Structure formats: structure tokens, C-alpha cells
């Protein structure tokens, strides 16, 4: 039987404390969001012909999760950069997540989407950025930027709070759309990947 040392107990306490801090920061951020804007976002998802999602790094992991859930709803959704992603067209929606709002590949994708008549929805920590200026709609997530080394908005490293909140917010949007649709979860499950 493994013996738990004082060091292990202290480490366990530290991990718990950090998890509580992470949850507290996400709860604080929840209170800063304009949910009327999120409602417009949810309605735009419902009416789009195709949904394209773009984000980089850890934000990309969160937004891939969002893409998967929207696919479970039976929506036509594509993550930009995958080899099977088709051309974006008028009537489509690009959801672009960038904490800084300046990630060049994301800004270029937003410009392209606008040039063909697609709508652009941005999720960002910045209300004044290249991406925000292009977007038809911006959901401002006032989390810390990656280079907020002073910890003015978050005690977490880099852009962790923004990335975590992307996952939570898009899961809440999915949950809302699912309940509105009222499709049984057994039907959604039929769309889940089965080549794993």
C-alpha cells in the first residue's frame, strides 16, 4: 500500500486551492458577460447554412469541442484548416475566437468570410482589435490576455481563463440550443463518432 507523505498532502491541498481559484475566476467572468449578445449568437448559429469555426492554440482545442457539440445537434459545422473544410459562402457563419483579436490567420479568415458575404462572430478579450473591427458581432470575454504578466485579471498563466471560458460558454450555448430543439439525447448520440 502506498504511503501518503506530508509532501503529498501539501501538494493535494495546493491543487485543490488552485482548482478553487480557477472556478472562482470563471464565476467572476460569468458575471461580466452580456448574455443578450450571447442570445443573438445562439440564434445566428440556428439560422446559418454552414458554420465554420476558427481558433488557434489552446483556444483551438476549446473551439474544436464546440464544433463537435454543434455537429451533435445535426448542424453543418467545419473547423477551419481541416482538409475536408469546404469554401465559405454567403449565408454561412464564421465563429472566430482570438483572445488578442490580432492572430493573423484568424483575421485573414474573417476578412475572407466577409468578402463572400458570410457573417463573422468574434469571441475575444479585446473590443478594439482587427478582428473586432471586421466582425458583425463581438462577444467580449474580459479575461486576461496572454501577456498579462502582472495578473491584473487572472492569477492563471497566459490566456488560460479565456480558453477555459470559451469551452464553458460554448457548452452553455449548445445546452440551450439542444433544449430548444428538444431532440432526445439518444438521437444526438447516433451522430457521435463511431470510428474511434
Enzyme catalytic residues: 163
CA–CA gap between residue 114 and residue 33 (Å, rounded): 25
DSSP state, 188?
H
Smallest Cα–Cα separation from 179: which of 69, 33, 93? 69
CA distance 98 to 123: 6
Helix axes 35-47, 160-181, angle to 10 degrees: 60
Amino acid at each position: 500500500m502506498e504511503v501518503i507523505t506530508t509532501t503529498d498532502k501539501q501538494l493535494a491541498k495546493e491543487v485543490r486551492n488552485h482548482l478553487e481559484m480557477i472556478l472562482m475566476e470563471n464565476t467572476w467572468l460569468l458575471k461580466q458577460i452580456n448574455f443578450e449578445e450571447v442570445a443573438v449568437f445562439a440564434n445566428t448559429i440556428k439560422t446559418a447554412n454552414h458554420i465554420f469555426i476558427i481558433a488557434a492554440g489552446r483556444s483551438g482545442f476549446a473551439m474544436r469541442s464546440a464544433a463537435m457539440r454543434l455537429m451533435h445537434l445535426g448542424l453543418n459545422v467545419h473547423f477551419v484548416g481541416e482538409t475536408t473544410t469546404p469554401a465559405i459562402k454567403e449565408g454561412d457563419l464564421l465563429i472566430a475566437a482570438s483572445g488578442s483579436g490580432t492572430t493573423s490567420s484568424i483575421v485573414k479568415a474573417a476578412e475572407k468570410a466577409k468578402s463572400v458575404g458570410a457573417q463573422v462572430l468574434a469571441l475575444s478579450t479585446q473590443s478594439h482589435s482587427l478582428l473586432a473591427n471586421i466582425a458583425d458581432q463581438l462577444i467580449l470575454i474580459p479575461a486576461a490576455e496572454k501577456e498579462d504578466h502582472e495578473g491584473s485579471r487572472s492569477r492563471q498563466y497566459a490566456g488560460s481563463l479565456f480558453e477555459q471560458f470559451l469551452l464553458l460558454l460554448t457548452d452553455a450555448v449548445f445546452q440551450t440550443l439542444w433544449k430548444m430543439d428538444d431532440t432526445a439525447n439518444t438521437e444526438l448520440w447516433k451522430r457521435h463518432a463511431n470510428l474511434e
